[in-house]
Structure 1
Amino acid sequence: MRKTAFLALIVLIFSLSLNAFTLGDLGEFKFEKANDNVYIMHGPEEEPSKKNEGFMNNPALIESQNGLIVIDPGGNYNVGKKVLAEIEKVSKKPIIAIFNTHKHGDHWFANKSIKEKYPDVPIYALTYMIEQVKDNAADTWYGILDRLTGNLEGTKPFTFPSQGVENRQTVVVDGQTFIMRHYAKGHTDTDILIEHVNSNTLFIGDNLITNRFGAFDESSSIVENIKLLEKIKNQEDGFKKYTLYVPGHGPSSGEISKTIDPFLNYLNIIVAGAKKAYENDIPSYEIKSEVHEELKAYHSWDAYEGQMGKHLMKAYSEIEMLDF
């Protein structure tokens, strides 16, 4: 009898291993308990590619008494299926709500995988974000991710968020309280930061990224992103000390020095370099090598070579506009 039970256990473990969310030499990805009833799956810290199948964000899971709440389930239908399988390893409770932090498809295209199984699940996002993705932002990101990953099959038609929220709005789902925070510009103009009151967790979205770099598009502001991170760090404008800070990409932590500071310091160095170039009436590329030397701690971050110069140009243009 004992031998039979042991063999059954071995079969179960082997079965779970076969069904694990695995991305080649990038390893296995699963939800791990990060804070009270909060679980995070930390995605690969790199740009979207065929290798990572377009998965590189941090899906989050909050377990309530009667169900599960998901934040940013991932970047396509196929990834969403794998994320959903990992969710079901944490709990068999139904998914009762989804939150999307901003318009970029690498965070919300996987809505479709969850909605397929739970057709009545409400999906929350900033009202303006919903307008943007229904206009052209979804198609723009579909084109980007399809070109880079080749893994968008099944993602269309898009599953858009269905419930618009606004700045400072409180949303309660099965006893779990979430406070929305929106600023006109930061990583994009459609971001919500989500404070989960029950666990004292702050989900910052792509306003905070660690170990990799992404683009700042036309709707973003490096200067305003800095102001936002400083407000979080200094506990201003209603922010407080949180037990856990969750970035859109990169490791989560309860320590400011490990979460907020690295990206904030990077942005401050970029802006300082851009200001110096502007004040000396020289183009940003002429100061790039000097800024590069100041950014030695970031040379190993994914996409540094491709993004740093663009960030410097973006900061320069913002400083120029502020001068007018």
Structure 2
Amino acid sequence: MNRRRFLRSVSALTALTAVEFAPWQTMSAFAREVEDFVRGPAVKDHPLRRISPHVWMIHSPDGFPTPENQGMMCNVTFVDTAKGLVVVDSGASVQIGEMAIRQIRKTLKKPVVAIINSHYHGDHWLGNDAFAAAYPGIPIYAHAGTIREISGMQGNLWRTLMEQWTNQATVGTRVVPPNTAVDHGQELKFGDVTLRIHHYGKAHTPSDICVEVVEDKLTCVGDVAMDRRIANMDEGSYVGTLAAYAALEKNAGSTIWLPGHGLPSGQVLQWNRELFEGIYQPCEKAIKDGLSMEEAKALVLKDPRVASRAKDTKGFDSNIGKYVSLAYLEAEAAAF
């Protein structure tokens, strides 16, 4: 048993003893102290970077959560408006959210007036806890499907998964779901800045939204596209994702695409498009030719669009088999 688990066990036992002997007021105060005592450690500061006139981000260099990075795997983005700061994706824990708040208070020195969660995977919204505590009553926007999933099973599932993946470093994080639904075409105006919502159906998940910062010609794409990392497609669609890229390029008018993972650039959608086509199209051909999933994987690995990206794509070797199987099953379903 590691130290943190031992301390949690001792705290839980002490709390049970307190229930038996303490009055309700004392018990409530003690429970709060116990909760604070078992919280995971603070996350080290990561610097703010300015991306465009109104957009800043805290870049997360890691692609996956580990005990060492304490779950710091998702970019946290801020839109600086005349009304205050808008957060796009709040990070994977209360500790990460608190770190982000420290950074904006040092550099931007403005209050946070809203949060937008791009989808329901926990590395993008578990940090809501810190912002909701620091800015009571803050509106938290998301697609209705995302609100439903976080308020249901996905909320506690992702909190538990993040604790497991980080060896309890994120302990103390509460599930704080979004509270305000938005959908495709809706515009949120914050003084001098307009944020336009894009939703094109099932892509990375069924309820992804992308956030266009109209004045900056920049769009935060969440996990619809990534930089040097393949998006988890367990709940997504290759065909839907490729269609979303085409729709974003047509309708957003952006020159910068800011992903949830990796660095922003004008090439993020194209990088992902070529990689996804290199995975999905060989699977389509394999289905048409009656080839097995293993034979489809061999075709994918030989495809130059995939082979050229294998070396610098985080988690490629450990995940490409799963990505091929998902593409194969989607292509198979489409063929019937």
User: Deviation of residue 38 (structure 1)?
Assistant: 0.9
Whole-Å separation in 1 of the counterparts to 2:210 and 2:108: 25
**Correspondent of 2:297 among 272, 288, 291:** 288
User: Deviation of residue 35 (structure 1)?
Assistant: 0.4
User: Deviation of residue 292 (structure 1)?
Assistant: 1.6
Aligned to 1:306: 318
| 1:255-310 residue CA offsets vs partner (Å, 9 max, x unmatched) | 2xx31121111100001121122112122222323322332222231111122111
**Correspondent of 1:153 among 165, 171, 184:** 171
User: Deviation of residue 145 (structure 1)?
Assistant: 1.6
Q: Is the 8 A contact 2:43 2:95 kept in 1?
A: no
Letter in 1 for 2:63: E
Aligned to 1:111: 128
Distance change in 2, residues 1:186/1:179 (3 Å): same
User: Deviation of residue 21 (structure 1)?
Assistant: 6.2
Aligned to 1:176: 193
Calculate percent identity across the aligned residue pairs.
Answer: 27
| Structure number with bigger Rg | 2
Give TM-score scaled by structure 1 length: 0.85
Whole-Å separation in 1 of the counterparts to 2:155 and 2:164: 14
| 1:21-44 residue CA offsets vs partner (Å, 9 max, x unmatched) | 64xxxxx62111110121112212
SS at match of 2:280: helix
Distance change in 2, residues 1:226/1:45 (3 Å): farther
Is the aligned partner of 1:263 residue 2:272? yes
Give TM-score scaled by structure 2 length: 0.82
Letter in 2 for 1:297: S
Whole-Å separation in 2 of the counterparts to 1:21 and 1:88: 16
User: Deviation of residue 239 (structure 1)?
Assistant: 2.8
Question: For structure 2, which runs of at least 5 residues remain unmatched after alignment?
Answer: 1-41
Q: Is the 8 A contact 2:43 2:99 kept in 1?
A: yes
Is the aligned partner of 1:34 residue 2:46? no
Range moving further from structure 2, 79-88 or 97-106: 79-88
Aligned to 2:328: 316
Letter in 2 for 1:151: A
Letter in 1 for 2:258: V
Q: Is the 8 A contact 2:139 2:180 kept in 1?
A: yes
Letter in 2 for 1:69: V
Question: For structure 1, which runs of at least 5 residues remain unmatched after alignment?
Answer: 1-19, 23-27
User: Deviation of residue 320 (structure 1)?
Assistant: 1.3
Letter in 2 for 1:225: T
- How many positions carry a matched residue from both structures? 291
Aligned to 2:252: 239
Letter in 1 for 2:203: G
User: Deviation of residue 190 (structure 1)?
Assistant: 1.4
Whole-Å separation in 1 of the counterparts to 2:170 and 2:226: 24
SS at match of 1:298: coil
State how 1:3-14 maps to structure 2 within 5 Å. none
Distance change in 2, residues 1:265/1:283 (3 Å): same
State how 1:66-215 maps to structure 2 within 5 Å. 66-149=83-166, 150-156=168-174, 158-215=175-232
Aligned to 1:248: 260
SS at match of 1:189: coil
SS at match of 2:224: strand
Letter in 1 for 2:260: G
> What CA RMSD, in Å, does the superposition of the two structures yield over aligned residues?
1.7
Q: Is the 8 A contact 2:43 2:70 kept in 1?
A: no
Distance change in 2, residues 1:55/1:120 (3 Å): same
Aligned to 2:287: 278
Whole-Å separation in 2 of the counterparts to 1:104 and 1:320: 27
Q: Is the 8 A contact 2:60 2:74 kept in 1?
A: yes
Q: Is the 8 A contact 1:21 1:86 kept in 2?
A: no
Aligned to 1:297: 308
Letter in 2 for 1:296: A
Q: Is the 8 A contact 1:44 1:52 kept in 2?
A: no
